Structure 1
Amino acid sequence: MRRLRGAPVQWACRLAVLAVALVMMTAGCAMANQQGVDQGDRPGQRFIVKFREGTSEGRDPAAVQPRLDAAMDAIAADRGVRLQWLHRMGIGADVVRASAPVDPAAVDALLAQLSADPDVEYAELDGMMHIGPVPEPPAR
């Protein structure tokens, strides 16, 4: 059997530091899992809208806000809720956020209103995608 070099106190300190580091890593992972990606946004609060290439909205993000305001006005949703442009994604789509959570019926109406616009390629809810449970392979 090999002998460990160093004083037993040094080894005890090293093991204690390693144990603390492992506990902190697992606690951090658990907290991140509970908190989610963006706590401020709830389902029905963020949307992705892609305007067609060649449109003024597709070229200039500043032109997007008036179209968002018009879409909210057209569905006659709660006047207190406004859409705010957040940023343009690398694929050219815009991420927008409602000032408050929108009820499911208003979300459907808003997405239908945006999708009906000929300058809009697509409009969808923004959300974190998760892989579902993988089915067991068939037994042989």
Structure 2
Amino acid sequence: MFQHLLARRLGAACFVPALLLSACAMGGDPPTRPTSEASAMQQRFIVRYVPGTAPERDSTLVADRIEATARSAGIVDARGSPGDVTWLRRLAVGADVVSITPELDAAQAQRLLDALNADADVQYAEPDGRMTIGPGPEMRMRGTPVE
């Protein structure tokens, strides 16, 4: 009786982790980036100002500073203005997330990032996008011949 009870409990205790591990190992096709995320990468940006600078101390200055940088980089819409720059939030690392409407095309987004990264008060600027684990570069297995 004791052995039968022990076997049932041990079987149940091993079944759940095995089920979870098999679900993790199944994998599937790599995720694709929907167009809405691609456009978000040209509409939302992460900017980290150097500690001690005015925009780093006061987040209300960030949108105006980025708008001025966009204007000086020549990024304008059909009306001749850089559009609306909206401060969204400050991240735990101290960087600010901003949104620009209307969204920029790829060349304008790159010009804005280049202009922001050239600013002495900016520690770094990058597009805001979802970070995921995806397929990496294809690696040759040890011992396989090089073609």
RMSD: 2.5
2:71 aligned to 51, 70, 73, which one?
73
Separation in 2, partners of 1:136, 1:54: 44
**1:56: Cα distance to partner?**
1.2
- Higher mean alpha-carbon deviation, 93-102 vs 71-80, is at 71-80
Unpaired runs of 5+ in structure 1?
Answer: 1-32
Contact persistence 1:72–1:83 (CA under 8 A): no
SS at match of 1:86: strand
Q: How many residues align?
A: 106
**1:130: Cα distance to partner?**
1.9
1:118 aligned to 2:116?
no
**1:138: Cα distance to partner?**
2.5
Q: Deviations over 1:81-139 (max 9, x none)?
A: 22211110010000000112201111111011111110000000000112222557826
Q: Percent identity?
A: 37
SS at match of 1:87: strand
Query: TM-score scaled by structure 2?
Result: 0.62
Unpaired runs of 5+ in structure 2?
Answer: 1-30
Which position in structure 2 is the counterpart of 1:109? 111
Which position in structure 2 is the counterpart of 1:83? 85
Which position in structure 1 is the counterpart of 2:42? 44
Which position in structure 2 is the counterpart of 1:138? 141
**1:80: Cα distance to partner?**
5.7
